[in-house]
Amino acid sequence: MPDMRFAPPNPLRIADRASGLNAVSVRGYNERLVLSLLLQSKDITRLEIGERTGLSAQTVSVIVRSLEQEGLIAKGEAQRGRVGPPTVPLSLNPEGAYSVGISVGHRQVEVVLVDFVGSIRSHAVLPFSAAAQDTNHPQFMSAIAKAIAGLPRHLHSRIAGIGLALPGDEVELELTPKAARERFDALQEEVEREIGYPVYVQNDITAAAGGESMFGVARHLSDYLFFYLGARLHSRLVLNHQIYNTTGAVSFDVGILRLEQEIIKQGRQTSELWERGADWPSFGEAEIAWQRELVGQMKSSIAALKQFVPIASVVLSSYAPQAVCRAICRELEQAMPGISAIAGNIERSPKAVGAAGLPFSSRFMVE
C-alpha cells in the first residue's frame, strides 16, 4: 500500500492557463462561497474573506489565486491604514464574465448583455411581432446574436450563458399573441441550438427579484418583500436570501395596464408608458388615483404577510421611471410606519438583467 500522501497531486483548482473561463463544470463549494461574498461586498481583504466564510488563510489563498488567474476577481490598490500593514482589497472583475438576459413580455422582448457586476453593456427592445405566429421570429435570434457580437471576439469565451425570463402569470399570458405559450416552451432549446450557449430559464418575476438581490438594492437584504410593477403588480417573498417561487402566484390589476386604462379614459396618449428608460409626462389625476390604488394593494399584501413573518423591508422593482417608483415608495412608507420601502435600481429592464444573473448564479454562486 503506497503512502497516499505521496500519490500524484490532486490540485484543488489550478486555473486553466488558456484564456477564458475554466471548463470545470462544477465549481467547488468554497470557491462559490468566495465569489458570492465578493458579489455582495466590494473591496474585501483575504482576512475578511476568511473570517466571513470560516475558510483557513491557506485555502482562501489558493482559491483567490486561481480566481485571479482566471480573471474573475481583481486586486485593488493596497490601502495603507494608520496602523497595521497595508491591506489589498479584492473585488469581482467586471470584465471577468458576461451574460445575456432575455425577458419576454406580453408586448415586447428585451435582450441585454451584462458584465459580471450587472452593468448593462447593451440593450435591445423588440416589439412582439403578431405576424410571426408559429415561430420565434428570426429577429429574436438575431437580437441575441447581435448582443453577443457587440462584445469583442476574445471575450466571447467569457460568456457564462444565456438567461431566459418567461412569464408565468396566467392573466399576462392571456395578453400575449396567440400560441405564444407553446413557443415559449420551445425557446430554451431553440436558443441553445442556434446560439450555442447554455440557456437557463426562470419565472420572470423571480428573475427580477434575483436581479435586485444579486446586482441591485437588495444585495445586503436577507429578508424582504419584493414587488414587481409591470402590466400588473406581482410579488415574491425573500427570506434568508431565498426567493420563494410559487407557480400560480396571484397578481393584481393595479399595474401599468390599470394606469393605461385610466389615462385612456381621459383621452390621452399612453405610448410613453411602455417605453424603456424614458421619463413619463405627468398624467395628472389619473396617475394620482392609480398610485393610491396601487399603494393600497401593496399595503394589504404587506399586512397579510405580517401575520406570518415580520417584514421590515420592501423592494419595488419596475422598468417604470425611478422617480415614479420612488414616489410610490415614499407614499408606502408614510402609510406604513416601520416599513422601509426601497425603489429598485436596476433601471430599464429588471427582468432581463435578472435573467442575465441566472448563468452567473448557477455557474459561480452558492444558493
Told to check if 52 binds other proteins by CB under 8 A, we report: no
Minimum CB distance to other proteins, residue 67 (Å)? 12
Told to check if 54 binds other proteins by CB under 8 A, we report: no
* Of 78-86, 134-142, 186-194, 232-240: span binding other proteins (CB under 8 A): 78-86
Told to check if 59 binds other proteins by CB under 8 A, we report: yes
Among 19, 42, 47, 292, binds other proteins (CB under 8 A): 47
Residues near 32 by beta carbon (within 8 Å), at least 6 away in sequence: 364, 365, 366
Question: Can you tell me the distance from the alpha carbon of 317 to that of 208, in angstroms, rounded to the nearest whole number?
Answer: 8
* Of 39-47, 225-233, 284-292, 352-360: span binding other proteins (CB under 8 A): 39-47
Told to check if 24 binds other proteins by CB under 8 A, we report: no
Told to check if 45 binds other proteins by CB under 8 A, we report: yes
Told to check if 338 binds other proteins by CB under 8 A, we report: no
Question: Can you tell me the distance from the alpha carbon of 218 to that of 213, in angstroms, rounded to the nearest whole number?
Answer: 5
Task: Single out the residue of 27, 29, 2, 3 nearest to residue 15, CA to CA.
Answer: 27
Question: Can you tell me the distance from the alpha carbon of 168 to that of 172, in angstroms, rounded to the nearest whole number?
Answer: 8
> Interface residues for other proteins in 84-123 (CB under 8 A)?
85-88
Instruction: Give the nearer residue to other proteins in terms of CB position, either 32 or 232.
Output: 32
Q: Write down the residue that cell numbers 437580437 correspond to.
A: 143
Question: Can you tell me the distance from the alpha carbon of 168 to that of 122, in angstroms, rounded to the nearest whole number?
Answer: 26
Question: Can you tell me the distance from the alpha carbon of 275 to that of 109, in angstroms, rounded to the nearest whole number?
Answer: 12
Instruction: Give the nearer residue to other proteins in terms of CB position, either 30 or 313.
Output: 30
The residue type found at 48 is: E
Task: Single out the residue of 16, 67, 364 nearest to residue 200, CA to CA.
Answer: 364
> Interface residues for other proteins in 1-20 (CB under 8 A)?
5-6, 9-14, 17
Instruction: Give the nearer residue to other proteins in terms of CB position, either 66 or 270.
Output: 66
Cβ atoms of 226 and 315 closer than 8 Å: yes
Q: Which residues bind other proteins (CB under 8 A)?
A: 5-6, 9-14, 17, 45-48, 50-51, 56-62, 65-66, 78, 85-88
